[in-house]
């Protein structure tokens, strides 16, 4: 439990307002060449006590430092060769490419070395605090005690760093402070871009950018040569919509994503795609170089009187985890001096790993393919596994870590975790099998894989079924995330053996085809499995793409699909293999990684992008027989509430022994599972609402 005490004035001597902190630190000291450090200087704009000086257990009080890091990259450096179009970017008189990035640092004020965790922001927003501490900071600006959530990361003494790395972030609320990157621009260059989108309801006007994102707008205003197409299924031919029947319209707010108006309106159940010529592409890969070089500097140089970190970790959720995957793939985890910039990384729910996207001309980082959306955007491509595998189509052998070693041959230590949902909607099996899905591929010694079975992309929070068919899964994998964060720190800083990999596989018969899944899944549960999962094709953008990151074929040609598999369900419909969360060891119902879209959306064949399903067991034998449910009832499984509590405690203790749950989270786990048990017993089975999943405020 947090020990909060006010330390009035404890940091006041070091705090300064933005107006009085225009101090600029010279970071190169004149002694280092550009080949040894790409950060030229840091400007501190704010330094204040965090949470008004509250104390977080033994870690004590924290401070917040907000500033801007200024970078200068030499395109001739070997370490920068993988950054697409860097050699074409504008340069200063010394031949360097200049850019900057805003950052925020939260750190203890005790002045002792700590583990620094770099949280890769997700679409401009701080992500780690929401899932690990249980509270996303208001306005994306951690300031108050409430912004610390339950204070987990602070109580354990971590320093937390956030910075801007991507440009395609749509404007938010007026008071919000997203971290938005301004990359170098290639003025005058042109190229085709495509924008795939759908609507959930009939609408005259639609936005064509990605989720909460921006896109490259047409080079020519209201481009008369732009093309709008439609199709009902991803595999169907695109049908052109006459140019005379639609028009570009102004964004809903200044700087927001572009929009178009269609005569007769956009319809649910239709996949639309808008293609045109854009101009002035960004050097998007510079965002990854900025992360690399900021960490490289902080690894070796004290900032504002504080010590250098004893350990550096990276953490990323979803898009942010995929970004770490791309940094490893491109060798951007190694700085210009040939040193690792982070000791370990935790890639959370990256699906197939993210070895594509983020670093090509006209790339749109916010987009990624799922079963329904954005099929032609690069997000995942061979290689997928950390150990070498062979692509039977191309004949190429490679791994995701081929370029990730430092000059001494060392690699960072990695945790990669996916939920059940990523197996259905993000190709998660590919990080543990050959591309043809025929054999398991064991991870190397520096990598551990964890499948969080029964969980969905994030802990379910929707209280309605729409626009899907089932209530969401509320299996709590955030507690396991907390345990993995501490385990990664111990593995990298103390060389303490990490939790063993636990991932569905072919050898133990816990990974299977969708057809086999459908055959085994219990009938009469009230939900039926999808007919397919996401099967990403090999995308051909033209001969220049693989070598130079320049797409000449837009949309790309689709080649053979990678073979993606799903976890095998048990007799209750719960996934086998991987990490069996408490909700699966002491189940109250069926948790799946999929949730079908409602027929009225027009895409009844497709799954939710991020959500799974939950269907509770019948309360009694009589209810079970009346419903024709083949799963044993709660009364058959647990003679009393005390029996269920004992089952939950035993399951939690199993995870604690495996170091996948922390003792401090035992009571949280007990309370959440017992609370759901009580609400299921009080629920009228005829009530199809999903409110019973959540404790009433």
User: What are 125-145's pLDDT values in tens digits?
Assistant: 999 999 999 999 999 999 999
Tell me how many domains the chain contains: 1
Q: What percentage of the chain exceeds 90 in pLDDT? A: 92
Please state the rounded mean pLDDT for residues 210-232: 96
Query: Residue 575 forms beta bridges with which residues?
Result: 569
Residue 138 lies in a domain: no
Q: Is residue 388 part of a domain?
A: no
SS (H, E, C) 379-418: CCCCCCCCCCEECCCCCCEECCCCCCCCCCCCCCEEEEEE
Residue that is written with structure tokens 């440009």 in the block: 167
Handedness of CA 151, 153, 154, 157 (dihedral sign): positive
Rounded to 10 degrees, what is the CA torsion of 693, 687, 457, 157?
-10
Task: Report, in angstroms and rounded to the nearest whole number, the Rg of the chain calculated over CA atoms.
Answer: 25
The 10s digit of each residue's pLDDT in 237-247 is 999 999 999 99
* Domain span holding position 247: 190-279
pLDDT value, residue 33: 38
pLDDT of residue 23: 38
Preceding peptide of 555 cis, ω within 30°: yes
| Model confidence, pTM | 0.94
pLDDT of residue 4 exceeding 60, the answer is no
Walk across the sheet containing 271-279 and list its strands. Answer: 190-197, 271-279, 227-231, 239-241
pLDDT score, position 15: 39
Q: Is residue 641 part of a domain?
A: no
Q: Residue 63 domain-assigned? A: no
Closest CA relative to residue 319, chosen from 609, 613, 660, 552 = 609
Q: Is 20 exposed, middle or buried (0-12, 13-18, 19+ CB in 10 A)?
A: exposed
- List pLDDT tens digits, range 568-603: 999 999 999 999 999 999 999 999 999 999 999 999
Asked whether residue 22 carries a pLDDT value surpassing 90, the answer given is: no
CB 261 within 8 A of CB 175: no
Structure-block tokens of residue 489: 């720190």
Give 372-425 pLDDT, tens digit per residue.
999 999 999 999 999 999 999 999 999 999 999 999 999 999 999 999 999 999
| 55 belongs to a structural domain | no
* Of 456, 503, 462, residue with least CA distance to 476: 456
Could you tell me if residue 432 is inside a domain?
A: no
Query: pLDDT, tens digit, for every residue of 141-163?
Result: 999 999 999 999 999 999 999 99
- pLDDT category at 697 given cuts 50, 70, 90 is confident
The dihedral of CA 357, 360, 364, 366: what is its sign?
A: positive
**463 pLDDT more than 90:** yes
Tokens at 502, concatenated: 């636990």
Confidence of residue 37 (pLDDT cuts 50, 70, 90): low
Is 253 among the domain residues? yes
């Amino acid at each position: 439990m947090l020990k909060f005490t006010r330390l009035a004035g404890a940091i006041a001597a070091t705090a300064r307002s933005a107006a009085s902190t225009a101090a600029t630190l010279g970071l190169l000291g004149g002694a280092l060449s550009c080949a040894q450090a790409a950060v030229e200087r840091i400007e501190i704009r704010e330094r204040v006590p965090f949470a008004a000086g509250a104390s977080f257990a033994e870690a004590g009080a924290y401070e917040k430092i907000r500033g801007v890091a200024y970078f200068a990259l030499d395109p001739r450096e070997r370490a920068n060769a993988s950054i697409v179009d860097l050699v074409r970017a504008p340069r200063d008189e010394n031949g360097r490419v200049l850019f900057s990035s805003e950052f925020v640092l939260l750190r203890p004020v005790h002045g002792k070395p700590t583990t620094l965790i770099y949280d890769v922001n997700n679409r401009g927003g701080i992500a780690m605090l929401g899932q690990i501490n249980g509270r996303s900071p208001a306005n994306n600006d951690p300031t108050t005690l409430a912004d610390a959530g339950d204070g987990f990361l602070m109580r354990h003494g971590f320093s937390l760093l956030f910075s801007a790395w991507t440009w395609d972030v749509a404007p938010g609320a007026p008071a919000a402070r997203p971290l938005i990157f301004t990359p170098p621009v290639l003025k005058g260059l042109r190229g085709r871009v495509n924008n795939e989108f759908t609507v959930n309801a009939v609408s005259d006007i639609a936005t064509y950018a990605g989720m909460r994102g921006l896109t490259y707008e047409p080079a020519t205003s209201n481009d008369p040569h732009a093309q709008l197409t439609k199709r009902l299924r991803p595999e169907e031919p695109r049908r052109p919509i006459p140019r005379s029947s639609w028009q570009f319209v102004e964004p809903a707010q200044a700087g927001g994503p572009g929009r178009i108006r269609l005569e007769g309106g956009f319809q649910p159940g239709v996949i639309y795609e808008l293609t045109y010529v854009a101009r002035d592409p960004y050097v998007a890969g510079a965002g990854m170089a900025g992360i690399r070089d900021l960490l490289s500097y902080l690894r070796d140089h004290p900032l504002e009187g504080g010590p250098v970190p004893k350990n550096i970790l990276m953490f990323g959720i979803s898009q942010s985890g995929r970004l770490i995957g791309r940094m490893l793939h491109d060798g951007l985890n190694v700085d210009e001096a040939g040193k690792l910039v982070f000791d370990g990384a935790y890639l959370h729910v990256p699906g197939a790993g993210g070895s594509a996207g983020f670093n090509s001309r006209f790339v749109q980082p916010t987009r990624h393919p799922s079963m329904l959306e954005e099929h032609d955007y690069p997000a995942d491509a061979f290689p997928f596994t950390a150990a070498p595998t062979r692509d039977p189509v191309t004949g190429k052998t490679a791994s995701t870590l081929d370029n990730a070693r430092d000059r001494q041959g060392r690699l960072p230590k990695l945790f990669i975790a996916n939920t059940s949902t990523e197996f259905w909607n993000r190709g998660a099996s590919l990080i543990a099998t050959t591309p043809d899905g025929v054999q398991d591929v064991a991870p190397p010694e520096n990598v551990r894989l964890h499948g969080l079975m029964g969980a969905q992309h994030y802990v379910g929070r929707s209280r309605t079924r729409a626009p899907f068919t089932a209530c969401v899964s509320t299996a709590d994998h955030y507690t396991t995330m907390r345990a993995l964060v501490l385990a990664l720190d111990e593995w990298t800083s103390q060389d303490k053996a990490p939790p063993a990999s636990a991932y569905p596989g072919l050898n133990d018969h816990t990974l299977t085809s969708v057809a086999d899944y459908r055959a085994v899944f219990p009938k009469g549960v009230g939900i039926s499995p999808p007919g397919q999962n996401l099967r990403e094709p090999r995308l051909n953008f033209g001969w220049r793409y693989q070598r130079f990151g320049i797409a000449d074929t837009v949309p790309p040609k689709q080649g053979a699909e990678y073979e993606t598999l799903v976890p095998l369900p048990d007799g209750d419909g719960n996934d086998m293999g991987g990490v069996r969360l408490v909700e699966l060891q002491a189940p109250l119902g069926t948790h799946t990684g999929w949730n079908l879209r409602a027929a009225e959306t027009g895409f009844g064949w497709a799954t939710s992008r991020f959500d799974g399903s939950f269907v509770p067991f019948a309360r009694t034998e009589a209810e079970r027989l009346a419903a024709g449910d083949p799963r044993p009832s709660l009364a058959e499984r647990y003679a009393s509430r005390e029996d269920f509590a004992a089952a939950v405690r035993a399951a939690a203790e199993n995870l604690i022994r495996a170091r996948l749950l922390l003792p401090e989270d035992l009571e949280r786990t007990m309370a959440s599972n017992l609370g759901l048990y009580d609400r299921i017993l009080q629920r009228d089975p005829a009530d199809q609402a999903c409110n019973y999943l959540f404790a009433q405020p």
